[in-house]
Chain A
């Protein structure tokens, strides 16, 4: 089955700097890769996603890149703000079973 790893587990950046979170997956059949942001006590919220037929996607300060050959994808946040502080989860969707496998999460702290 699919296995998703995520690094780093914690990340601290200064406000205005960029943050990068990386995930790797094991199943080459996975075809959809979402990213979720979870604030303390709240539900995970979908912030951006990418499909296997696309290499990069951008939405304002957030971008995701996908390298299918290497089986890894990354979240990039530019011009970070204190409200970006949260736990971020990556996931991969198994094309066969249609299930989602989540990474263990990255706790991002943006220091003012």
Chain B
């Protein structure tokens, strides 16, 4: 059973470009969470999605950021017109449907560098 997959692992973008980060949850998991982590800091919640639904996006900046989790395919975190302050590690995590199993597992992260 493969774990949570994220790609790319490293992404370099110039200011103003778009960044697309992908997350494939563990098999059988239908809940996906995205977090941002700056160096030497904690995990900042961004968005929580289930298939085709955004459940909680209270941590997402109002502009330039969007997320989706389509019926088929990976979850995508999209950052438009990136700025230097977007440079961070972005972690995706997944957890099973809410049937009493709550464990949340993290992917390896995508390290975004904006030049």
A98 within 8 A of partner (CB):
yes
Q: Which residue of B104, B108, B109 is within 8 Å of A100 (Cβ)?
A: B104
Range class of the A interface residue count: 20 to 34
Instruction: How many A-B residue pairs have C-beta atoms within 8 angstroms? Tell me.
Output: 51
Closest to A91 in B: B104
* Cross-chain contact A98 with B55 (CB below 8 angstroms): yes
* Cross-chain contact B106 with A97 (CB below 8 angstroms): no
CB distance from A25 to the nearest CB of B (A): 15
Residues of A within 8 A of B (CB): 32, 34, 36, 42-46, 49, 51, 89, 91, 93, 97-105
Give 27 CB contacts A-B under 8 Å.
A32-B102, A34-B103, A36-B106, A43-B107, A43-B109, A44-B43, A45-B106, A46-B103, A46-B105, A49-B103, A89-B42, A91-B104, A93-B102, A97-B48, A97-B56, A98-B48, A98-B55, A99-B33, A99-B45, A99-B48, A99-B55, A100-B93, A101-B45, A102-B42, A102-B43, A102-B45, A105-B43
